[in-house]
Amino acid sequence: MKNFLRSLLLLSLATAPLALRAENLAITGDTIYTMSGTALRHGVVLVRDGKIEAIGAADTVKIPAGYRVLQAAVVTPGLIDAHATVGLSGLLNQPQDQDMWEKSAPIQPELRAIDAYNAKDPLVAWVRSFGVTTVNTGHAPTALISGQTMIVKTLGRETDEDVVNPAAMTSITLGANGLNAADGSPGSASKSPGTRAKAVALLRAELIKAQEYAHKRDGKDEAKRPGRDLRLETILRGLDGTQPFLVTVNRQQDIVAALRLAKEFKLKLILDGCADAPLVLNEIKASGFPVIVHPTMQRTYGDMENLSVETAGKLHAAGIPVALQSSYESYVPKTRVVLLEAAVAAANGLGFEPALASITLDAAKLLGIADRTGSLEIGKDADLALYDGDPFEYTSHCTGTIINGQVFADGPH
């Protein structure tokens, strides 16, 4: 056991990033995709105290003395993975590093990602090495209500230091993956919900319970007020929209069921997965809800049977806000890389700039963090990704990742 722990320690040391503290930087790029306007040719981004200080054409921005100069063919905002499980679903896939799925009950909104996220897991450094600077990570879409997500920068330090939003969304899963009876894995305490209808019934009951809890809690008679209930408090934040529900739905009947729930409880949802979205584009569009589309290269099993590499493009063309994600994998690859998923979407109907937006500014808007990151604008966090060519090309490399002005350059990835 001692040897095992030692080898784990060695592994983590070997993969530890060569992170420097925030420094003043001048990043020059042949092409800079700011995402807040047209791309700059031969541009410069100045970074001071972890924030973007200036940005413009090379002949208009003077690089102050003492700034460290970094060069790249292509510069983009740091990439944002709108739905991940990195840090909870660890690299080794052993019981001790798999915290994305609590199997003791089907409804556990009180579970917080922040209490499980391992900033030092090698997969955090792995996605960062491709330019990913921010992830919305948390409990996997594997239970009816699996827990909460958090938005975190991939700095890989103490968890609390890196957090952007400690409680971003609450994960609901409808369809086969939200059914406990379908699981059959050891540790599943509950056999219910075993059907789609039962899952929605349980969910409606939970939402109604939360409404009643709120009513009692706000009652005039203090003696009659209920004690705190972490579970229902979380549901209430979903009901009032302060911490929205992230609803993973792939089959068209599950997408429609989610929209029906939203109508009944006046919810503002974030739809997730949506493999069957092309079948119900009008309904999704009418709802006004954004979609975090399944990974483009996800396997075509079960509820994902109908997935298409063109779905992101179709949603975008319909005017539906779209972000991409790495989602959850139970086997290999233990995490996908959102850059590589966006690349395949870019080549299959979404197009270059919308695909880049789906993992930068559009993802930031969807996650409610566009005031801090997602585009290269003065005053925003200095989150950038550097590439030696088209970021989506298989043969290009990410040559550097900058988060809050800290440079990570673990070699070209």
Question: Cβ 111 to another protein, closest distance in Å?
Answer: 23
Tell me the CA distances in angstroms from 97 to 18, 88, 117, 215, 329, one per residue in order: 24, 7, 10, 40, 14
Tokens at 157, concatenated = 């330090």
- The answer to whether 11 contacts another protein (rule: CB under 8 A) is yes
CA distance 386 to 87: 23
Residue 90 has, within 13 A of its CA and on its CB side, a CA count of 17
- Concatenate the DSSP letters of all residues of 126-176 into one string: HHHTTTEEEEEEES-S-STEEEEEEEEETT-S-HHHHEEEEEEEEEEE-SG
- The answer to whether 392 contacts another protein (rule: CB under 8 A) is yes
CA distance 135 to 86: 8
Question: Cβ 408 to another protein, closest distance in Å?
Answer: 17
* Strand 384-387 with 25-32, pairing: unpaired
- The answer to whether 229 contacts another protein (rule: CB under 8 A) is no
- The answer to whether 324 contacts another protein (rule: CB under 8 A) is no
Among 122, 141, 156, 238, binds another protein (CB under 8 A): 122
- The answer to whether 123 contacts another protein (rule: CB under 8 A) is yes
Query: In terms of CB distance, is 334 or 372 closer to another protein?
Result: 334
Question: Cβ 299 to another protein, closest distance in Å?
Answer: 6
Query: In terms of CB distance, is 157 or 314 closer to another protein?
Result: 314
Treating both helix axes as pointing N-terminal to C-terminal, what angle do 196-217 and 230-240 enclose, rounded to 10 degrees? 100
- The answer to whether 253 contacts another protein (rule: CB under 8 A) is no
Tell me the CA distances in angstroms from 172 to 16, 138, 142, 178, one per residue in order: 34, 12, 9, 8
| Number of residues located near another protein, criterion CB under 8 A | 44
Element (H, E) at 76: strand 68-77
Helix (H, G, I), strand (E, B) or coil at 182: coil
Q: How far is C-alpha 207 from the geometric centre of its chain's CA atoms?
A: 25
Query: In terms of CB distance, is 54 or 318 closer to another protein?
Result: 318
Query: In terms of CB distance, is 79 or 239 closer to another protein?
Result: 79
Nearest Cα residue to 323 out of 372, 357, 297: 357
Question: Cβ 318 to another protein, closest distance in Å?
Answer: 15
| Residue 291 amino acid letter | V
- The answer to whether 93 contacts another protein (rule: CB under 8 A) is yes
Query: In terms of CB distance, is 180 or 396 closer to another protein?
Result: 396
Binding-residue pattern over the window 292 to 321 for another protein, x denoting contact by CB under 8 A: -----x-xxx---xxxxxxx----------
CA distance 40 to 152: 28
- The answer to whether 276 contacts another protein (rule: CB under 8 A) is yes
Query: In terms of CB distance, is 36 or 348 closer to another protein?
Result: 348
- The answer to whether 154 contacts another protein (rule: CB under 8 A) is no
Question: Cβ 306 to another protein, closest distance in Å?
Answer: 5
| Residue 131 amino acid letter | G
- Main-chain dihedrals φ then ψ at residue 72, nearest 5 degrees: -150, 155
Question: Cβ 336 to another protein, closest distance in Å?
Answer: 5
Question: Cβ 352 to another protein, closest distance in Å?
Answer: 9
Among 143, 337, 382, 385, binds another protein (CB under 8 A): 337
Query: In terms of CB distance, is 202 or 279 closer to another protein?
Result: 279
Among 149, 171, 335, 360, binds another protein (CB under 8 A): 335
Q: Which residues bind another protein (CB under 8 A)?
A: 11, 90-94, 122-123, 126-127, 276, 278-279, 297, 299-301, 305-311, 329, 331-337, 340, 343-344, 346-348, 392-397
